[in-house]
């Protein structure tokens, strides 16, 4: 056996006893050696005909790195017993083989270690930069080799472009090759040094568990080393980092930033990265095409080039802007003259011609920011009539709009960077706006010549637009853009025309001429137009502002204004977080490792202070959607009139009560209005006790009913937590009817009855203690317990037993009521059970604090014992109008039916994921009340997986929750307005994130209470 043969060689030559396992290798034999000493090695047996010099070079390089930069993650080489690093050992057939033994580094290869976060890529850049620094002083004869992977010599592909049969692709490659040849002289002039030359995604190792910070734990395989400019090493690594990356430009910028931090690059080198990267990909696809021709039966050759083609053909990557982006990543000026232009503008601030013929320093600012403004009401649609009125609250005189201001007025899909409504979108204004009446003349702040003059007639585009080219006295170019002009300017000016300082060269258009907006000029400055040409983005992605601040800086100087006046600063999330810590209790918890700050909403979407959209798949309170216009209207209308309490008659209270009761079985006749679910449950306890004269309560484990003393006492989810108040004497818990993890499973047809029977001993215990049974309370479908749907008939059976013991049955429908379940308006309908008291909360006010309890005439009568029941705000005129409106909207907009349809769509998709991913243990729920139970490979609760998935979904801009005693159940519970494309986004993102989880398993936890030999942990 081969492995035994080489295991013996390892023992003889290195004195190491190990078990060998073959590893992949194209030509050579590679083994993983697990040694008796507990260490792992890699044994490399080179092919007989290998070039010894190249192997010696690798060994020498590793030795060099270990000496000059021992902190770098390269494997150490272990000398054989006789001191040789690369002994020659005869193989089984007696042929001499060069053999070497390496340290085995921890981690898994980068290709399989998803996601490729910018943070990880930045670290990779640092490691690579440091590696090239370490290799600077390394010399070896083998480095000076001619071969196809030396990027300096990549011009060889020119001769083989004919092999690319697709003419479009051939032209693209020939363009890349031409661009490469255009920079070749600059490349060839750079100093050369030893470089790794093949930092591909299988040669990078990454370490770090699911919720841990990941780091680069290894760079391996120096087999392609050569002498070349260091920037080739970076471009090659970049060529792999961008492939199939969801944000390739940002990924590359992160790599370059990391590299530059460890190994300073010049601007000239930075400018070479992009053409070199593309050339490297061109070399790859040409090489694979040639190999495919030689090996027509090997489909892998073609498959392996697919990502490179995908990237090269990705039209959304803006190559023209790449040099600026990479320079900014390194903190370098975007152009050679950028700093001089900025200095010139600064020095002349106050001396430019007045654009509006008047001093703007006292002109007021008007904010259209996400936080300060509600233009447009629907952040996904800007109707023309709203666009024409934008900012009308600031009057019809002169006012200024901010630079760097995130706005939601850019609502068209063209501003989105992905296919979904909640995809990243460009929101941040890169110009200053000056609002003034249509027809106002615009004066050139300084002389220039016309670069572009056009009429952009698209919906909400610029209308008339002019770009002027300027030069500083030192000859450095910069540009200014004026949008939303009267298009008559196109008749008067043409590209190349001079425009004198202070010349009135254009005038503001009205809404019919300027793209549809309230009259204003969008005034933008740019230091380069490369990658933008005539089509400058007027707004930027909030996560790319470093780039945009550098390319399109604040133009305040040209308006003779201080920068600060027009520079918008959104509320600082970190300051809010610090303030919260200072003024609120520590147990006021925040969701997510990196919390979100949300300032606007619309239906089932939310927006943070930068206008980043989030799909709200978690919050059930906005039952009919965030910021519903009918709720706004009803609340505003009532607040204009009066708002008082139930001590006075008002028809709104009756209307609300009648609406609520219309949704319930006839026996429910009486409503109590309070302010919250908690208060309603607290009241339910009092009613049950008043009606029965008993105090004992039975309730399922892990339930939650509210935050007051009484409600906590019946909420095992709280009182049983470490530090909780513990179980009261008058409360008895029963196991949740969870037929996935509980004691009776889905294959047991009798499980509903068996779970219900668990109530019998609880009743008996209460009676034994003398408390009697006041009642039973349960979330109809346990939510905090893990989105559980009890087997049909469970509640009906429990209710029979409780009633037989003299108690009343309380259905907490706070989570499940009001149409969320699709097939049912309330959860108890599914169970074929009729409670005595129904509690509603959260969604019934759609954000307004409101709780409702309904019960029978008899129970209400028992409670009417002469003491007034009063809740100051419960049943206020305002609350009743809002509550009624919410229920009306559910009906009018068919939201229960929508919950049924969208729930089914989600459920189907989730079931498919369950079949695809081992970590999805169970998918359950009804309508838009859904749970996904995540499990470890051994079937135990996947708490860490759940935390990871929840946080990663947030990275994908989707809010979902987690629940269950071990917090391993994803809770999906969106507003009832969710639409098919949102459901599809959830499923797409979940699949992406679950792929990242892959076959992750938690490290085994030692539960030994005594020393256990062989277990590394005790
Ligand atoms: C099932 C259930 N009941 C009662 C409550 C308490 O409602 P509130 O927070 O409005 O007091 C909650 C809150 O999460 C709940 O989920």
Average confidence (pLDDT) over 823-849: 98
Q: What DSSP state is assigned to residue 177?
A: H
Q: What DSSP state is assigned to residue 816?
A: T
Beta partners for 837? 810, 855
| Gap from CA of 899 to ligand 1 centroid (Å) | 21
815 within ligand 1 shell (Cβ under 6 A): yes
| Gap from CA of 841 to ligand 1 centroid (Å) | 7
| Gap from CA of 800 to ligand 1 centroid (Å) | 26
780 within ligand 1 shell (Cβ under 6 A): no
| Gap from CA of 644 to ligand 1 centroid (Å) | 25
Interior angle at CA 959, CA 927 and CA 420, nearest 5? 85
Q: Which of 680, 705, 844 to mutate to test the pocket of ligand 1 (most atoms within 8 A of CB)?
A: 705
| Gap from CA of 682 to ligand 1 centroid (Å) | 11
Give the pLDDT band of residue 299 (cuts 50, 70, 90). Answer: confident
Closest C-alpha among 401, 449, 326 to residue 555: 401
The token pair at 485 is 């002009």
Q: Whose CA is nearest to atom 11 of ligand 1?
A: 678
Q: Give whole-number Cα distances, 591 to 17, 217, 587, in Å.
A: 51, 31, 12
Q: What is the pLDDT at residue 1005?
A: 63
The token pair at 851 is 């709780």
Q: What DSSP state is assigned to residue 551?
A: H
Atom of ligand 1 nearest to the CA of 779: 1
Q: Whose CA is nearest to atom 13 of ligand 1?
A: 706
676 within ligand 1 shell (Cβ under 6 A): yes
Q: What is the pLDDT at residue 1003?
A: 79
Q: What is the DSSP string of 487-550?
A: TTHHHH--TT-EE-TT-EEEEB--TTTSSSPSSEEEEEEES--TTTTT---SEE-GGGHHHHHH
Q: Which of 675, 700, 704, 713 to mutate to test the pocket of ligand 1 (most atoms within 8 A of CB)?
A: 704
Atom of ligand 1 nearest to the CA of 681: 4
Tens digits of residue pLDDT in 613-627:
999 999 999 999 999
Are the C-beta atoms of residues 484 and 387 closer than 8 Å to each other? no
- Among the residues of 693-758, which ranges form H helices? 709-713, 716-719, 751-757
Give the pLDDT band of residue 25 (cuts 50, 70, 90). Answer: confident
| Gap from CA of 715 to ligand 1 centroid (Å) | 10
β-pair type (668-674, 851-856) = antiparallel
The token pair at 379 is 């952040």
Q: What is the pLDDT at residue 1013?
A: 44
Average confidence (pLDDT) over 351-376: 98
| Gap from CA of 932 to ligand 1 centroid (Å) | 21
Atom of ligand 1 nearest to the CA of 679: 11
Phi, psi of 490 (to 5 degrees): -65, -25
CA distance 249 to 950: 26
Tell me whether residue 529 is exposed, middle or buried, using C-beta atoms within 10 angstroms of its C-beta: 0 to 12, 13 to 18, 19 or more.
Answer: buried
Q: Give whole-number Cα distances, 314 to 308, 310, 319, 488, 1011, in Å.
A: 10, 6, 10, 38, 58
Give the pLDDT band of residue 303 (cuts 50, 70, 90). Answer: confident
Q: Which of 699, 711, 814, 818 to mutate to test the pocket of ligand 1 (most atoms within 8 A of CB)?
A: 814
- Give the long-range contacts of residues 47-52, CB within 8 A, separation 24 or more: 47/97, 48/91, 48/95, 48/96, 48/97, 50/98, 51/142, 52/86, 52/98
Q: Whose CA is nearest to atom 3 of ligand 1?
A: 705
Closest C-alpha among 964, 978, 974 to residue 921: 964
Give the pLDDT band of residue 805 (cuts 50, 70, 90). Answer: very high
Tens digits of residue pLDDT in 944-953:
999 999 999 9
Q: What is the pLDDT at residue 1017?
A: 43
CA distance 613 to 264: 37
Beta partners for 429? 539
Q: What is the pLDDT at residue 1014?
A: 43
| Gap from CA of 702 to ligand 1 centroid (Å) | 13
| Gap from CA of 781 to ligand 1 centroid (Å) | 13
Are the C-beta atoms of residues 803 and 831 closer than 8 Å to each other? no
Q: How confident is the prediction for the chain on average, in pLDDT? A: 96
pLDDT at 1010 over 60: no
Tens digits of residue pLDDT in 528-556:
999 999 999 999 999 999 999 999 999 99
Are the C-beta atoms of residues 548 and 492 closer than 8 Å to each other? no
**Around Cβ 710, how many Cβ atoms within 10 Å?**
18
Quick check: bond before 942 cis, omega within 30?
Answer: no
Are the C-beta atoms of residues 100 and 41 closer than 8 Å to each other? no
Q: Which of 812, 842, 845 to mutate to test the pocket of ligand 1 (most atoms within 8 A of CB)?
A: 842
Q: Give whole-number Cα distances, 628 to 93, 609, 882, 889, in Å.
A: 80, 20, 11, 9
678 within ligand 1 shell (Cβ under 6 A): yes
| Gap from CA of 704 to ligand 1 centroid (Å) | 7
Tell me whether residue 620 is exposed, middle or buried, using C-beta atoms within 10 angstroms of its C-beta: 0 to 12, 13 to 18, 19 or more.
Answer: buried
pLDDT at 813 over 60: yes
Q: Which residues contact 574 (CB under 8 A, 6 or more apart)?
A: none
Q: Give whole-number Cα distances, 361 to 49, 261, 356, in Å.
A: 79, 41, 12
Beta partners for 480? 468, 525
Are the C-beta atoms of residues 907 and 988 closer than 8 Å to each other? no
| Gap from CA of 754 to ligand 1 centroid (Å) | 28
| Gap from CA of 677 to ligand 1 centroid (Å) | 5
Average confidence (pLDDT) over 940-961: 97
Phi, psi of 779 (to 5 degrees): -65, 125
779 within ligand 1 shell (Cβ under 6 A): yes
Query: Which residue did the predictor score with more confidence, 1011 or 406?
Result: 406
CA distance 401 to 521: 10
Beta partners for 470? 478
The token pair at 143 is 């480095």
The 3-state secondary structure of 241-275, one letter per residue: HCCCCCCHHHHHHHHHHHHHHHCCCCHHHHHHHHH
Q: Which residues contact 811 (CB under 8 A, 6 or more apart)?
A: 778, 780, 795, 826, 827, 828, 833, 835, 837, 838, 839
Tens digits of residue pLDDT in 319-330:
999 999 999 999
- What distance lies between CA 448 and its chain's CA centroid? 44
Tell me whether residue 518 is exposed, middle or buried, using C-beta atoms within 10 angstroms of its C-beta: 0 to 12, 13 to 18, 19 or more.
Answer: buried
| Gap from CA of 428 to ligand 1 centroid (Å) | 38
**Around Cβ 929, how many Cβ atoms within 10 Å?**
24
Are the C-beta atoms of residues 831 and 789 closer than 8 Å to each other? no
pLDDT at 1009 over 70: no
Average confidence (pLDDT) over 884-908: 98
Are the C-beta atoms of residues 598 and 608 closer than 8 Å to each other? yes
| Gap from CA of 963 to ligand 1 centroid (Å) | 14
Q: What is the pLDDT at residue 146?
A: 83
Q: Which of 678, 682, 853 to mutate to test the pocket of ligand 1 (most atoms within 8 A of CB)?
A: 678
Tracing tokens 């109590």 back to the chain, one arrives at 672
Tens digits of residue pLDDT in 154-185:
999 999 999 999 999 999 999 999 999 999 99
Q: What is the pLDDT at residue 601?
A: 98
Tracing tokens 């011609």 back to the chain, one arrives at 353
842 within ligand 1 shell (Cβ under 6 A): yes
Q: What is the pLDDT at residue 605?
A: 98
CA distance 92 to 2: 8
Q: What is the pLDDT at residue 561?
A: 98
Tell me whether residue 731 is exposed, middle or buried, using C-beta atoms within 10 angstroms of its C-beta: 0 to 12, 13 to 18, 19 or more.
Answer: buried
841 within ligand 1 shell (Cβ under 6 A): yes
| Gap from CA of 492 to ligand 1 centroid (Å) | 67
| Gap from CA of 620 to ligand 1 centroid (Å) | 11
| Gap from CA of 605 to ligand 1 centroid (Å) | 22
Tens digits of residue pLDDT in 705-726:
999 999 999 999 999 999 999 9
Beta partners for 467? 452, 481
Atom of ligand 1 nearest to the CA of 703: 1
Atom of ligand 1 nearest to the CA of 851: 10
Quick check: bond before 330 cis, omega within 30?
Answer: no
Tell me whether residue 71 is exposed, middle or buried, using C-beta atoms within 10 angstroms of its C-beta: 0 to 12, 13 to 18, 19 or more.
Answer: exposed
What distance, in Å, lies between the first and last C-alpha atoms of the chain? 37
Are the C-beta atoms of residues 255 and 241 closer than 8 Å to each other? yes
pLDDT at 1016 over 50: no
| Gap from CA of 548 to ligand 1 centroid (Å) | 45
| Gap from CA of 264 to ligand 1 centroid (Å) | 56
| Gap from CA of 595 to ligand 1 centroid (Å) | 22
CA distance 261 to 241: 18
Tracing tokens 């006790």 back to the chain, one arrives at 689
Phi, psi of 527 (to 5 degrees): -95, -15
The token pair at 800 is 């029979």
Average confidence (pLDDT) over 647-662: 97
Detail the DSSP E strand segments found in 320-408: 365-366, 399-401
CA distance 674 to 663: 19
677 within ligand 1 shell (Cβ under 6 A): yes
704 within ligand 1 shell (Cβ under 6 A): yes
Q: Which of 623, 709, 815, 817 to mutate to test the pocket of ligand 1 (most atoms within 8 A of CB)?
A: 815
pLDDT at 964 over 90: yes
Q: Whose CA is nearest to atom 4 of ligand 1?
A: 705
Are the C-beta atoms of residues 994 and 914 closer than 8 Å to each other? no
Tens digits of residue pLDDT in 402-451:
999 999 999 999 999 999 999 999 999 999 999 999 999 999 999 999 99
Give the pLDDT band of residue 1004 (cuts 50, 70, 90). Answer: confident
Tell me whether residue 375 is exposed, middle or buried, using C-beta atoms within 10 angstroms of its C-beta: 0 to 12, 13 to 18, 19 or more.
Answer: buried
Say what percent of the chain tops pLDDT 70: 99
Q: Whose CA is nearest to atom 7 of ligand 1?
A: 677
Average confidence (pLDDT) over 940-960: 97
Atom of ligand 1 nearest to the CA of 706: 6
Give the pLDDT band of residue 485 (cuts 50, 70, 90). Answer: very high
Are the C-beta atoms of residues 963 and 943 closer than 8 Å to each other? no
Nearest-10 crossing angle of helices 248-262, 322-329: 40
Q: Which of 677, 712, 821 to mutate to test the pocket of ligand 1 (most atoms within 8 A of CB)?
A: 677
The region that residue 21 occupies, defined by phi over 0 for left and psi between -120 and 50 for alpha, beta otherwise, is: beta
pLDDT at 1006 over 60: no
| Gap from CA of 676 to ligand 1 centroid (Å) | 7
Atom of ligand 1 nearest to the CA of 678: 11
Average confidence (pLDDT) over 862-878: 95
């Amino acid at each position: 056996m081969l492995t035994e043969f080489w295991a013996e060689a390892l023992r003889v030559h290195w004195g190491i006893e190990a078990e060998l396992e073959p590893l992949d290798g194209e030509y050579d034999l590679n083994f993983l050696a697990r040694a008796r000493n507990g260490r792992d090695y890699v044994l490399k047996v080179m092919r007989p005909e290998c070039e010894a010099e190249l192997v010696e070079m690798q060994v020498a390089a590793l030795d060099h790195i270990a000496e000059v930069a021992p902190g770098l993650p390269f494997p150490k080489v272990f000398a054989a017993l006789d001191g040789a690093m690369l002994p020659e050992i005869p193989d089984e057939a007696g042929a001499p083989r060069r053999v070497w033994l390496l340290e085995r580094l921890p981690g898994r290869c980068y290709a399989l270690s998803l996601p490729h976060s910018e943070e990880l890529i930045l670290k990779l850049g640092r490691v690579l930069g440091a590696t090239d620094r370490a290799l600077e002083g390394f010399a070896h004869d083998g480095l000076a080799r001619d071969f196809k992977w030396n990027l300096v010599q990549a011009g060889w592909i020119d001769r083989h472009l004919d092999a690319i049969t697709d003419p479009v692709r051939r032209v693209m490659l020939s363009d890349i090759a031409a661009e490469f040849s255009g920079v070749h002289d600059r490349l060839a002039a750079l100093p050369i040094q030893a470089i790794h030359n093949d930092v591909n995604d299988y040669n990078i190792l990454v370490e770090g568990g699911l919720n841990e910070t990941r780091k680069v734990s290894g760079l391996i395989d120096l087999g392609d080393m050569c002498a070349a400019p260091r920037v080739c090493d970076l471009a090659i690594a970049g060529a792999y980092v961008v492939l199939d990356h969801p944000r390739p430009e940002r990924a590359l910028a992160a790599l370059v930033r990391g590299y530059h931090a460890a190994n300073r690059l010049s601007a000239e080198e930075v400018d070479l990265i992009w053409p070199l990267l593309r050339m490297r990909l061109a070399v790859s696809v040409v090489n694979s095409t040639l190999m495919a021709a030689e090996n027509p039966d090997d489909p892998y050759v073609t498959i392996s080039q697919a990502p490179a083609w995908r990237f090269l053909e990705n039209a959304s990557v803006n190559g023209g802007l790449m040099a600026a982006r990479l320079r900014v990543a390194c903190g370098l000026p975007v152009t050679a003259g950028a700093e001089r232009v900025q200095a010139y503008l600064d020095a002349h601030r106050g001396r430019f011609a007045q654009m509006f013929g008047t001093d703007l320093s006292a002109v007021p600012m008007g904010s259209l920011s996400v936080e300060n403004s509600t233009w447009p009401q629907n952040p996904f649609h800007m109707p023309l009539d709203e666009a024409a009125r934008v900012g009308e609250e600031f009057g019809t005189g002169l006012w200024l709009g901010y630079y760097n201001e995130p706005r939601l007025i850019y609502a068209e899909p063209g501003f989105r960077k992905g296919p979904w409504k909640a995809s990243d979108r460009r929101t941040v204004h890169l110009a200053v706006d000056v609002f003034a009446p249509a027809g106002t003349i615009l004066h050139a702040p300084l002389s220039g010549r016309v670069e572009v003059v056009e009429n952009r007639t698209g919906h909400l585009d610029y209308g008339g637009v002019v770009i002027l080219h300027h030069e500083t006295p030192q000859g450095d170019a910069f540009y200014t853009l004026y949008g939303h002009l009267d298009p008559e300017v196109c008749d008067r000016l043409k590209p190349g025309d001079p425009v004198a300082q202070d010349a009135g060269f254009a005038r503001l258009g009205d809404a019919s001429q300027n793209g549809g907006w309230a009259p204003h000029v969008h005034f933008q400055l740019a230091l380069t137009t490369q990658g933008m040409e005539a089509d400058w983005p007027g707004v930027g992605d909030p996560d790319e502002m470093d780039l945009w601040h550098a390319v399109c800086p604040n133009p305040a100087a040209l308006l003779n204004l201080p920068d600060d006046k027009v520079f918008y600063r959104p509320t600082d999330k970190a300051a809010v977080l610090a303030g919260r810590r200072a003024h609120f209790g520590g147990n006021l918890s925040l969701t997510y490792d990196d919390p979100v700050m949300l300032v606007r909403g619309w239906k089932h979407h939310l927006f943070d202070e930068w206008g980043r959209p989030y799909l709200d798949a978690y919050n059930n309170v906005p039952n009919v959607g965030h910021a519903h216009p009918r709720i706004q209207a009803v609340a505003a209308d009532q607040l204009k009139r009066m708002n008082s309490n139930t001590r006075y008659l008002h028809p709104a209270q009756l209307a609300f009560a009648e609406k609520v009761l219309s949704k319930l079985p006839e026996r429910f006749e009486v409503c109590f209005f309070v302010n919250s679910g908690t208060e309603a449950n607290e009241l339910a306890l009092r009613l049950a006790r008043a009606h029965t004269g008993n105090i004992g309560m039975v309730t399922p484990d892990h339930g939650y009913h509210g935050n007051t003393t009484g409600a906590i006492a019946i909420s095992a989810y709280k009182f049983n937590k470490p530090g909780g108040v513990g179980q009261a004497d008058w409360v008895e818990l029963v196991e949740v009817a969870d037929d996935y993890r509980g004691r009776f499973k889905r294959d047991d047809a009798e499980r509903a009855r068996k779970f219900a029977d668990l109530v019998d001993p609880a009743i008996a215990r209460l009676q034994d203690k003398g408390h009697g049974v006041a009642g039973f309370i349960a979330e109809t479908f346990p939510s905090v317990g893990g989105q559980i749907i009890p087997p049909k008939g469970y509640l009906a059976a429990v209710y029979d037993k409780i009633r037989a013991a003299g108690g009343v049955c309380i259905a907490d429908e706070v989570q499940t009521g009001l149409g969320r379940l699709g097939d049912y308006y309330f959860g108890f309908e599914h169970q074929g059970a009729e409670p005595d008291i129904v509690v509603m909360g959260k969604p019934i006010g759609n954000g307004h604090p409101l709780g409702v309890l309904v019960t029978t005439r008899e129970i209400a009568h028992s409670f009417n014992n002469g003491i007034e029941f009063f809740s100051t705000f419960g049943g206020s005129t305002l609350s009743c109008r809002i509550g009624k409106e919410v229920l009306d909207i559910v009906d009018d907009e068919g939201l229960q039916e929508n919950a049924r349809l969208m729930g089914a769509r989600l459920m189907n998709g989730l079931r498919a994921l369950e079949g695809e991913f081992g970590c999805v243990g169970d998918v359950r729920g009804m309508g838009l009340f859904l749970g996904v139970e995540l499990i470890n490979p051994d079937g135990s609760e996947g708490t860490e997986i759940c935390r990871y998935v929840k946080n990663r979904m947030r990275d994908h801009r989707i809010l979902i929750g987690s629940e269950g005693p071990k917090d391993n159940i994803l809770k999906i519970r969106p507003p009832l307005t969710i639409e098919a494309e949102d459901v599809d986004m959830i499923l797409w993102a979940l699949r992406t994130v679950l792929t990242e989880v892959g076959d992750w398993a938690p490290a085994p936890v030692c539960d030994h209470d005594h020393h256990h030999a062989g277990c590394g942990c005790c």
